[in-house]
Amino acid sequence: MTMETLPKVLEVDEKSPEAKDLLPSQTASSLCISSRSESVWTTTPRSNWEIYRKPIVIMSVGGAILLFGVVITCLAYTLKLSKNNLSILKMVGPGFLSLGLMMLVCGLVWVPIIKKKQKHRQKSTFLRSLKSFFLTR
């Protein structure tokens, strides 16, 4: 008996004014506003530090981890340690080497991507202003 009354209750709730108000707010444009990406409509200029901060931090941390991996690997092959400690250093050193190299390369690849994005954004604002200039006359 409750199974039959449940759909009727849902139908009544779907026709409520609150449900109608909530449906239009779930559009793609409202979802894009809540995303972390920068809006196309904001024209506030940003400094180079704000633009390149994340890749610089990733490259710095990656370089530090890479250097640490080099030091650990060199110590593993030059020091006379017990067999257990030596095997641990020989496993950990290359792990830090690969992690540091991966982070360094990710940061280095990120910089040209940001430059291309900035160039595209400049073109798009120029074309938008050009379009508005010709359409308003």
In a domain, 61, yes or no: yes
pTM more than 0.85: no
Q: Which of 44, 57, 72, 137 is nearest to 103 (CA)?
A: 57
Domains of the chain: total: 1
Is 108 inside any structural domain?
yes
CA–CA dist 112, 28 (Å, integer) = 29
Question: 74-111: per-residue pLDDT in tens?
Answer: 988 888 888 888 888 889 999 999 999 999 999 999 99
Residue 43 belongs to a domain: no
- The boundaries of the domain holding residue 117 are 51-137
Is 32 within a domain? no
How far apart (Å, rounded) are the C-alpha atoms in residues 24 and 18? Answer: 11
Please indicate, yes or no, if residue 116 is contained in any of the structural domains.
yes
Per-residue pLDDT tens over the stretch 12-68: 445 555 545 554 544 554 444 544 555 555 557 788 888 889 999 999 999 999 999
CA–CA separation, 64 and 68 (whole Å): 6
